[in-house]
Amino acid sequence: MLAGFFNSESNEHTNETMKKENFLFYKGTEALERIGVTPIFARHKIELIPTLYANGHPGGLIEKATFDEILATILADIRAHLSELDGIFLYLHGASKVRELPEFSGEHVILREIRQLVGERMPIAVVMDPHGNVTSEFTQSLQYVCCYRHSPHIDIQETFEKAAEDFCQMLEVNERHPHPVCIKLPLMVGGERSVSFDEPVATINHKLDALEQDTRIRCASFHVGYVRHDSDKLGCAVSVVPMTVADLPFAERKAKELADYILRARYQFHYHGQYGDVATALRLARDTQKFPSFLTDSGDNCGAGSDGSSTQLLQAFLQDPILANQKTLFAGIIVPEAVTQLEACTVGETVTLLVGTGATRSPILTLTGKKVSEGIVSDDFVDNPHQGKVIGFQPLDTAITILFEREAVSFTELKQFDYANCPIADFDIFVVKQGYISPEFAAYGEAMMVLTDGPTQQATEKLVFHEIKRPMFPYDPLDVPWEGYEKGSFPMICEVGAS
């Protein structure tokens, strides 16, 4: 069994490009360790042969040369072991877009090229992120597909293990394996309106769980999709993997029922938790007595591919005499030049920095202060500390600390502050580059999603597309009745059959 991993979330609204140096690459046993399913295949006496592990954090569009090298490596490994292979197990995120690639999606090209190489009969299984884009053409090249149930993604390892176990059991049955059923929906909702703790996703997941209890169904998934670039692959989807060819009609019927439910619930998709505009967030930060508190700069969410360069909230805090003296940590702001400048300084040394890009969301600020810490943004960069460097900086006469980063990686886990050598207990307010708040931060303190402008604008209905299939909600009315409306959902549009 050949196993590989390709991950990148491509945001078209940032000028950054994902190049080779922005990916973490592993081969051999290190690749298998990171995919994390070797013990399951070993229990079934299946040997795993590693191909490339290519993990790019969310960012801009992928450089064509970088993608071509990734694809060529995977195909070369398959050719080298083709006579030995009984199947292929892959992680393909589903939200990549490659510059100068006519098909847009890297994952769809990878799968197409693999299928052309191995022929129609070799079983292929793919694990995906729910924020990846799926089409019927994609699933017709597979025997198995699934994605994480939850957003935030608290079930990643569980999903990989279930997929590996399902695929092993599938291979032990000596018969033709059906393709998954896929229904593409004329619906784009975005990640911050589809948190799995909230409705309607909680009910959708309950339906998926119940469906997988049926002996005729191997796996069922709701693919929310990705909305941060333009492509003909965009839109939600449901996939259902039948147990056998005989179960295909049942899987088709259940997929249709699930798709109908999701379309009827389209006005129930809504922002998670507390949310508000910048003025509301600043007022909350100024008046709150509930510490610790988190503000998420949702328009500059590195976890959805933004560049993390916005200084809008930082400027607002510095200009407010109350907020400037709140013990606040900005974690972080991506300014590679500031990191390079601070690397040459000792902790405690005073230095003047120029930060910001000059864009409306990133006003240029001249900051004089002292270097207070140095570390890395996460354990992913233990082997590459230069790229993962994060340096703490405190502007003079303030209680604010800013973590400047070289790489656009969000702080989402408490342990990251340890790697950054920045004690979390020293602060009351945290401003982070997220959309919905991560589970660890939500458990640690209060949180508000700030509806800022930027590459990850949360109002999906304001985004402009040219390549998407039409009709597509929330841009077009649908001739499908809707049920229920939640605060923080889409603006109402005139729709035939609305109830």
Read off the pLDDT of residues 127-183 as tens digits, 9 standing for 90 and up: 999 999 999 999 999 999 999 999 999 999 999 999 999 999 999 997 889 999 999
User: What is the per-residue pLDDT for 29?
Assistant: 96
Binned at pLDDT 50, 70 and 90, residue 44 comes out as very high
Give the dihedral sign, CA 449/453/454/457: positive
363-367: which pairs have CB atoms within 8 A and are 24 or more residues apart?
Answer: 363/311, 363/312, 363/315, 364/311, 365/311, 365/314, 365/315, 365/318, 367/393, 367/395, 367/402
Read off the pTM.
Answer: 0.94
List the domain boundaries for the chain: 2-265, 274-457
Read off the pLDDT of residues 392-425 as tens digits, 9 standing for 90 and up: 999 999 999 999 999 999 999 999 999 999 999 9
Over residues 332-351, mean pLDDT? 98
Is pLDDT at 86 greater than 60 in this prediction? Answer: yes
Asked whether the beta carbons of 181 and 248 are under 8 A apart, the reply is yes
Read off the pLDDT of residues 179-229 as tens digits, 9 standing for 90 and up: 999 999 999 999 999 999 999 999 999 999 999 999 999 999 999 999 999
Is pLDDT at 495 greater than 80 in this prediction? Answer: no
The arrangement of strands across the sheet holding 49-56 comes to 23-26, 49-56, 2-7, 88-92, 124-128, 144-147
Q: With residue 443 as reference, give the H or E element that holds it.
A: helix 439-444
User: What is the per-residue pLDDT for 494?
Assistant: 58
pLDDT > 90 fraction of the chain, expressed in percent and rounded: 96
Binned at pLDDT 50, 70 and 90, residue 496 comes out as very low
pLDDT > 70 fraction of the chain, expressed in percent and rounded: 99
> In whole angstroms, what separates CA 27 from the centre of its chain?
23
DSSP assignments along 368-404, one per residue: EEEEEEEEESSGGGTT-TTTTEEEEEEETTSSEEEEE
Is pLDDT at 498 greater than 80 in this prediction? Answer: no
Single-letter amino acid, residue 9? E
Is pLDDT at 356 greater than 80 in this prediction? Answer: yes
Question: What's the Rg (C-alpha) of the chain?
Answer: 23
